[in-house]
Amino acid sequence: MECGTVTMYRNADAHWSKFDPEAYIDGNYRTPLEVDLLIVRLVRDHFGRCFSGGVPDSVGGVDVGAGANLCPALSMLPWCEAVLLLERAPPDVAYLERQVSAEGFDPVWDAFWEELRQAPAYAAVEPRSRLAEIVRVERGHLFDLEGPRRWGIGTMFFVADSMSECPDEFERGVRCFMNALEEGAPFAAAFMKESVGYRVGAHDYPAYRVNEDRVRESLWPFTGELEIHDLHHMVRPGHEGMLLALGRRNSEIATP
Ligand SMILES: C[S@@+](CC[C@H](N)C(=O)[O-])C[C@H]1O[C@@H](n2cnc3c(N)ncnc32)[C@H](O)[C@@H]1O
């Protein structure tokens, strides 16, 4: 509970084993919001630009804290030979494993794929079979990414800011994600702006309040190319919009 000298709600304190993916989808994705479709388009176009000169052989992708959101995984499909979905909460891991099974993902994600497939690189992909073929789910902790594994493209949506109230854990979450990327890797990271926490089903989850400056400051050491979109759209009370950071990993591997 202690974070510095102040008592805060840390990552280890939250009831991740009770996280309810269907309730989370009901609150966030069941009805596609224009802001989520916009995020999907911005990420699609960013990855398309990054790979416009050609896709390197055997790109591996990672979505950190994937939870009950397939959009980041779908956005990486055309560029990757393999994609890892890393997630801490067992109910989310079980949800993701069903989504990547041979039965194919739930129709709730079709509206988002529809947005992606407007770009030619995506139109050439059959998303259900491709997802089942190349995506693997792993139960794991974001902070354990400080090992030797590296990926050539990565996403982290609403995780570093939405897993703890503690500033050190936000910083560490961003650092672990960025240090998991290879030099030059395109990335997309989304953050709730000024979130005071959120409820999923019967449980409350912590957040660390960020604004555009805070996100820029945390990402800047790891990237020479960075654009931050301030999306003025509220999905619930208790936050002030969303921030989408798009960039590429620089060559400096910052030490943890
Ligand atoms: C607000 S949800 C975001 C889910 C999804 N990425 C999205 O875009 O909607 C936060 C997610 O982070 C996961 N999470 C929390 N702590 C984590 C950790 N230490 N390592 C990996 N995932 C974690 C939670 O289980 C949950 O799925």
pLDDT (tens digit, 9 = 90+) per residue, 72-110?
999 999 999 999 999 999 999 999 999 999 999 999 999
CATH of the domain at 53: 3.40.50.150
Q: Is the CB of 25 under 6 A from ligand 1?
A: no
Residue 131 lies in a domain: yes
Q: Would you call 239 helix, strand, or coil by DSSP?
A: coil
Q: pLDDT value at position 224?
A: 82
52 Cα–ligand 1 center, Å: 30
Q: Is the CB of 141 under 6 A from ligand 1?
A: yes
Q: Is the CB of 16 under 6 A from ligand 1?
A: yes
Write the pLDDT tens digit of every residue in 105-127: 999 999 999 999 999 999 999 99
Q: Is the CB of 158 under 6 A from ligand 1?
A: yes
Element (H, E) at 188: strand 186-192
Write the pLDDT tens digit of every residue in 21-49: 999 999 999 999 999 999 999 999 999 99
Residue 10 lies in a domain: no
CA 231 to the chain's CA centroid:
16
Please choose from 33, 88, 177, 200 the residue to mutate so as to test ligand 1's pocket, defined by most ligand atoms within 8 A of CB.
88
127 Cα–ligand 1 center, Å: 23
* HSE-up (13 A, CA, CB side) for residue 127: 23
Residue 29 lies in a domain: yes
Residue 227 lies in a domain: yes
Q: How far apart are CA 200 and CA 133, in angstroms?
A: 30
Look at the chain and report how many structural domains it folds into. Answer: 1
Q: Which amino acid is at 21?
A: P
Q: Is the CB of 66 under 6 A from ligand 1?
A: yes
218 is in which domain, residue-wise? 21-249
Residue 7 lies in a domain: no
Residue 185 lies in a domain: yes
